[in-house]
Structure formats: C-alpha cells, structure tokens
Copies of this chain bind each other. A is one copy, B any other.
Amino acid sequence: MNVLIVHAHPEAASFTTAMRDAAADALTESGHDVRVSDLYEMKFNPVASPNDFLGRANEDYLVYALEQRHADANGLLAPDIKAELDKVVWADLIIFNFPIYWFSMPAIMKGWLDRVFVSGRCYGGMRFYDRGGLKGKKALVSLTLGGQPHMFDANGVHGPLPDLLKHLLRGTLGYLGFDVLPPFIGWHVPYISQQERTALLDAYRERLLTLESQQPLAFPSLEDFDELLRPKAHGTA
C-alpha cells in the first residue's frame, strides 16, 4: 500500500511523534511505501483564503468550494495544496496522527482538511458517503489524549469518544468515501509509565499490521436515499 501519515504535534519529542515514527517504520518494514506530512515541520498554512487560488472563477465574490473546483480543474490550486492533494491521490491509506485538542484535531490539521480535500475532486453533488470521491481508500485516525477509557463509557462523564469525533469520522472521512477504520486511541498518555508507553506503541504496530482484517465503521448508503436525499420508502434508516 501507499501510506500517507498526516502528523501534527507542536513538540517533536512527544509520544504522538513516537507513534508517527512507529507507524512509518512498521509499515515500511512490512513493504509499504510511506510518506509523512509533518504539518508543524512544514509550517503548513491552515487558513482557507483567496490566496489558495492562482486564478479565480469569480474575482468579486469568494465561494470557497466553487473556487476549489475551478482551480483544481484548471491547474490553479496553490502549490502547497496541490502537493498535499497529490499525496492524497497517491495514497491507499491515510493516517491522521494527532493529540486531541477540544475533541477534534489541532487547528493546523483541521486546516489541512479545509484546504486539501477540495470540492469536485474529493466530493461534490451526490458524491459522498459510499459515492464519495475518495472511495476505495482507507483512513485511520490515531490520536492521543489525557483522558481514561472509563470517562468515555456509555454512562461515562463524556460519553463514547467516537460520538465526540463524529464530525471527523463520519462527517469528513466517511463523507469523502474512505473506509474509516476504528480509531486507535492512546489513552491517558501524559500520565502513563515508560513501560505503558512501550506497550501502547506495540499495540499500535499490531493494529497497523492487521488493518486488512479490520471492519470499517458503518455509514449510510446513498442507495437508501432518493435524488433529493430523502429516505426511500424501503430504506433501512
């Protein structure tokens, strides 16, 4: 497989960074081609703006998604976006590796989603979920947090973590058509022992080397909705 690891952590010596390296090494050793986008190291610009387009369909009024379509179709995407989009097209698996900030990604990675998953190429019109533009690719979210599993039980103080990550797992990756694997979660990372960290990295490597056998998360099928996106009478919803 071609594997893209999109990584963001402001501390180069962090455990999250060790996860990035464990993934790159384990996947390379087992014969995969691995590329890494280290967003802090690249000083990636996360702010969607008119500067993202070398030319515009409408110079007077910015509709970002429409300009993404126009720019992608006409070779007018800013070079930093084009470089990342080329990696997306190349990849069979994309791993998003980050520490949880406010039950989501750090802004530098959120902006990678905003700018790189361009309308038209990656989604648009009725091309989402099982008709998404990135259908056939896998995505894995691998994250670290300070919390412990019991806080995210069904009756835990926060409720299930995948519910808090729904905007990402379903609303972004599932929407784009990825086979979204169950997230790998590094629990309680700031507080665990070196031995526990080593065990966590071992568990992560094990996950990465058995991806083929893992069942993706379930999302809706557009087959169950009509052309106005209303549930069909025989829909399973």
Residue in B117, B166, B237 whose CB lies within 8 Å of A166: B166
With beta carbons under 8 angstroms apart, the residue of B102, B158, B172 that contacts A110 is B102
User: Which B residues lie within 8 Å of A101 (CB)?
Assistant: 48, 110, 113-114
Residues of B within 8 A of A47 (CB): 40, 46, 106-108
Task: Write out, one digit per residue, whether chain A residues 151-173 have a CB within 8 A of any chain B CB (1) or not (0).
Answer: 10001111000011111101110
> CA A50 – CA B13 in complex, angstroms?
13
A104 and B157 CA atoms in complex are apart in Å by 22
A200 to chain B, nearest CB (A): 18
Cβ of A129 within 8 Å of any chain B Cβ, yes or no, is yes
Docked Cα-Cα span, A63 to B108, in Å, equals: 17
Judged by a CB distance under 8 angstroms, whether A225 is at the interface is: yes
Query: Which residue on chain B has the smallest CB distance to residue A150?
Result: B230
Q: What residues of chain B lie closer than 8 Å to A11, measured between beta carbons?
A: 61-64
Interface pair B229/A150, CB less than 8 Å apart: yes
Contact with B along A38-60 (1 / 0, CB 8 A): 00100000111110000000000
How long is the Cα–Cα vector from A108 to B110 in the complex, in angstroms?
9
Residues of B within 8 A of A231 (CB): 155-157
Residue of B nearest to A66 (CB): B190
A171 and B158 contact, CB distance less than 8 A = yes
A53 to chain B, nearest CB (A): 11
Complex: A108 Cα to B115 Cα, angstroms: 12
Is A182 at the interface (CB under 8 A from chain B)? no
Which single member of B50, B62, B167, B228 contacts A103 (CB below 8 Å)?
B167
A170 and B152 CA atoms in complex are apart in Å by 13
A102 contacts B172, C-beta separation under 8 Å = yes
Please, which residues of chain B bring their CB within 8 A of the CB of A104?
A: 104, 110, 167-168, 171
CB distance from A141 to the nearest CB of B (A): 13
